[in-house]
Amino acid sequence: MALSNSQYDTIMRVYEERQTKNRHLLEERTAYVNGHVEGYLELSESIAAISVSQGKKLLEGDDNALKELKSTLHRLSSMKRDLLIGAGLPADYLSPVYDCPDCKDTGYIGSEKCHCFRQAVIDLLYEQSGIRSMLEKENFDSLSYSYYEGQDLERFQKNVATAKNFIKTFNSDYHNLFFYGTVGTGKSFLSGCIAKELIEKGYSVIYFSAAGLFETLSRNMFDYKNTEEFRNLHEDLYGCDLLIIDDLGTECLNNATVSMFFSLLNERHLNQKATIISTNLFLEDIQNRYSERIFSRIMNQYISCKFTGPDIRRLKKTLK
């Protein structure tokens, strides 16, 4: 998965902040040692002076200068460590400080991304998805078939299989999913299961309730003061690997937002960026509520998964 420019810049700012923090920490430690450990500053000054002196000898052709310098530096460095230990400090107290010693807080080992960079990507994707807390509970580990029976169970099992295949082939096959059916039958839950699996694989997932999405589109359409914010929003909505639009039908509609919604779906399809839409509306309600273009797009470019059964959220409350 390729990070957007804004996502990459966000992560690199974190590394810059780490480097600045640790540089200040080392400066504070150095100032403390120089002021409180007797003889340490003098040794540091001696090392600097000897290095300059031996460097001049080396330039003048003294072949023994480098050997003598190494020997002297080793002896003086040992004395500095002894002073630190004698003051009750660790021997490496003034060594460079890193959050990640492997990449030295650069994010890269050579030309390869460090393991900490990959983790930073996943953390950022969770934050930007907007559903970190939800996915702690709604994932395949907590999936249960016990609330379904008969045809409802068969449908849910088929939908789970479709979701797992969607994840398995995400990098090779472009698909969209349309979850529809009665309230509380697992549509949002299964969307969350997919989101968690893909985020853990390093794909960018953005979650929006339909009401939140349409409100955001409407606000940014008319708020020209937030040009940069709108540009970042546009990049996220149109460019993320997976966009989840939950509870379609709960939003406030007008001609402008319907047009922007179609544009969003259309451009994501042209760029083969996957989308999952869930709704409690019946198909005929979708057709009546939205434009024919939107209904046609969903019916022809999305895999439809019907959910039926009891309202699981209400059932869980009753059981409690």
Give per-residue pLDDT as tens, 97-119. 999 999 999 999 999 889 888 77
Assess whether pLDDT exceeds 80 at residue 145. Answer: yes
User: For residue 230, what pLDDT is reported?
Assistant: 62
Average per-residue pLDDT in the chain? 87
Euclidean distance between CA atoms 117 and 110, whole angstroms: 13
pLDDT in tens, 268-283: 999 999 999 999 998 8
Within 8 A by CB and 6+ apart from 159, the residues are 179, 186, 190, 305, 306, 307
The pLDDT score that the predictor gives to residue 287 is 87
Residue 85 scores a pLDDT above 60: yes
Angle (CA) 211-244-114 rounded to 5° is 130
Q: What number of other Cβ atoms are within 10 A of residue 134's Cβ?
A: 17
Reported pTM:
0.67
Rg (CA), the chain: 30
pLDDT of residue 316: 75
* More reliable by pLDDT, 204 or 185: 185
pLDDT at 224 over 60: no
Is-contact 205 198, C-beta < 8 A? yes
pLDDT tens column, 53-67:
888 888 888 778 788
In this predicted model, which residue has the larger pLDDT, 258 or 227? 258
Q: Return the half-sphere exposure (C-beta side, CA atoms, 13 A cut-off) of residue 92.
A: 4
pLDDT for res 275 = 97
Closest CA to 105 of 20, 23, 25, 18: 18
What is the arithmetic mean of pLDDT over 82-105?
A: 94
For 130-319, give the CATH class.
alpha beta
What's the mean pLDDT in 226-251? 80
- How crowded is the C-beta side of 141, counted as CA atoms within 13 Å? 5
CA 181/CA 115 separation, integer angstroms: 42
| Burial class, 213, CB count within 10 angstroms (exposed 0-12 / middle 13-18 / buried 19+) | buried
Each domain of the chain, given as residue ranges in start order, spans 5-109, 130-319
Contacts of residues 250-255 at CB distance under 8 Å and 24 or more positions apart, as own/partner, are 250/209, 250/210, 250/211, 251/210, 251/211, 251/213, 251/214, 251/215, 252/211, 252/214, 252/215, 253/214, 253/289, 253/290, 254/218
